[in-house]
Amino acid sequence: MNPPPRLSRLWWVTGPALALIVVAVLVAGSMRVPYVILSPGSARSVVPLVTVSEKPGGPPVTEDEASDDLLYVTVSSTVEPSGFWTLWGWMDDRSQVEPSKPFLGQNTDEENRKLNLALMTDSQEKARVVALERLGYEVTKTPVGAFLEDVDPSYPAADVLKPGMTVVGADGEPVTTVDELVDAIRAHEPGDEMDLSIIPLEGGRPQTVTAEVGTREGDPGVPALGVTPVDRNSYGFPMDIRIDTGKVGGPSAGLAFTLAILDRLTPGSLTGGDRMAVTGTIELDGTVGPVGGVDHKTEAAIDEGAKVFLVPPEEFEQAKEAARGRIEIEQVRSLDEAIAALVAHGGDPLPTETK
C-alpha cells in the first residue's frame, strides 16, 4: 500500500534533514571534549604485589605468607572523553565531571601520565625506606637534586620548567637539595635570569635552561620561581623489594605500600583477616599526607567489601560523608597510628624486637 501523496512529499523534505541531524549528533558526540571524568577505581590487594629477596652480603630474608586483606584504592580518570561519555558521566551519581585544564595543568595527558608514574616510583622508594627503618634496618640516602612536584604557570619560569623535572644545578653550582635551590634563588632579584641544570621527566643527561626569576605571590620583592620542589634522593637498600603496580600512577598508595612491606617481612597478619583499605602518601618521617579523590576511593573500598578505610585526617570528613555509614572510616596521621588502628581491629602487632 503506498503512503498518501502528502505524507510522501513531507518525508522527502524532512527525511534528509533528520538524517543530517542524526549524523551531526553522532559526530559531535564522538568528539573529545575538554573535561575529565573521575569515578571509583579499584581496590586491590597490595601485599601480593610485594616481593622481597636477599642481596649478596645482605641480611637473610624470610618472606611471610601474602595476605590479600590489605587493599590500596585508586580513582579512575578519563581525560578528554567523547561527548557521549561525558554526558553519561553527568548522569552517573558515582562520577564527577570537571574541566580538564585544571586537572592537566600545563602538561599534556601523556606528560601527566609520566609524571604520575614518577610519583609512584618516589612513593615506593619512600615506603621501602620507612618500612625498613621501622624494622631497624639501615638505609643509605644520597641527595641528588630537587624534584619539581609542581610549577605555577603564572610565573615566568613556567616557560622552561615543568613538573617532573629535577634541578641538579644552578648558576654553575651543583644542587643536591631543596635548600640549595632555595639559596640559589634568593641570591637573585626579581627579574633576573638564572641558569638551571635540569634532568627532564623522561630522564637522560642534564640540560641547561634559563629561567626568569619572578616575585613571590603576596610578598613583593622576594624572588621566586613558582615551583614546589622536594628533595630527591638515591637510596641504598639492604635487600631487594619490588612492588608491581603495573600502569597505576600517583603517590597515594605510599602508606599502603609501607604496611604491605611490613606485613611481608614480619610474622602474622597486620589486618587480622578482615579486609582493610588504606590511602595516603607516606613521608620519610612516617607522616601520612592527603591524596585527593577520597570520595571515589571510599566507593571503591566499599565495592571490594572492606570493613575499615584508613584515610589522612585532612580527608576524614569527606570520606565519612561519602561512606554514609556503609564502612568504618578512621583517620591516621602517621605510620604508627595506622599500625595501631589495624591492631585495634584484630591485626597482629609488629614484633617488639626487629631484625
pLDDT mean for each 10 residues of the chain (355 residues): 54 57 51 78 90 88 79 85 72 82 72 80 93 94 93 92 93 96 95 95 90 86 91 93 82 90 90 90 94 92 95 96 95 96 90 63
**CATH number of the structural domain spanning residue 185:** 2.30.42.10
Whether residue 258 lies inside any domain: the answer is yes
Final residue of a domain: which of 184, 205, 234? 234
Whether residue 12 lies inside any domain: the answer is no
**CATH number of the structural domain spanning residue 125:** 3.30.230.10
Of 257, 276, 277, nearest in space to 345 by CA: 276
Characterize 42-79 residue by residue with b for buried, 16 or more Cβ atoms within 10 angstroms of its Cβ, and e for exposed. Answer: ebbbbbebbebeeeeeeeeeeeeebbebbbbbbbebbb
Of 137, 171, 119, nearest in space to 52 by CA: 137
Same domain (yes/no): 111, 124: yes
Looking at residue 12, what is its pLDDT? 56
Looking at residue 172, what is its pLDDT? 93
Same domain (yes/no): 242, 340: yes
Looking at residue 16, what is its pLDDT? 60
Same domain (yes/no): 130, 246: yes
Same domain (yes/no): 129, 182: no
Same domain (yes/no): 219, 261: no
Give the distance from CA 80 to its chain's centroid. Answer: 19
Final residue of a domain: which of 234, 266, 293? 234
Characterize 190-215 residue by residue with b for buried, 16 or more Cβ atoms within 10 angstroms of its Cβ, and e for exposed. Answer: eeeebebbbbebeeeeeeeeebbbbb
- Strands, DSSP E only, in the chain? 35-45, 50-54, 70-79, 96-99, 140-151, 166-170, 173-174, 193-199, 207-212, 214-215, 223-224, 227-236, 239-243, 276-278, 281-282, 288-289, 308-311, 328-331
Domain count, the chain: 2
Same domain (yes/no): 243, 330: yes
Three-state secondary-structure class, residue 276: strand
Same domain (yes/no): 150, 281: no
The model's pTM? 0.83
Whether residue 353 lies inside any domain: the answer is no
Pairing status of strand 276-278 against strand 308-311 = parallel
CB atoms within 10 A of CB 277: 28
CA distance 175 to 190: 20
Q: Is-contact 137 75, C-beta < 8 A?
A: no
Same domain (yes/no): 105, 57: yes
Whether residue 17 lies inside any domain: the answer is no
Cell, residue 59: 641480611
Final residue of a domain: which of 193, 219, 234? 234
Q: Is-contact 162 110, C-beta < 8 A?
A: no
Same domain (yes/no): 177, 196: yes
Whether residue 4 lies inside any domain: the answer is no
Whether residue 251 lies inside any domain: the answer is yes
CA distance 169 to 34: 37
Whether residue 95 lies inside any domain: the answer is yes
Q: Where in the sequence is the domain holding 147, given as residue range(s)?
A: 140-234
Whether residue 296 lies inside any domain: the answer is yes
Looking at residue 353, what is its pLDDT? 53
Q: How far apart are the first and last CA of the chain?
A: 91
Q: Is-contact 116 250, C-beta < 8 A?
A: yes
Same domain (yes/no): 230, 243: no
Looking at residue 100, what is its pLDDT? 75
CA distance 106 to 251: 19
Same domain (yes/no): 158, 246: no
3-state helix, strand, coil in the chain (%, to 5): 35, 30, 35
Same domain (yes/no): 252, 108: yes
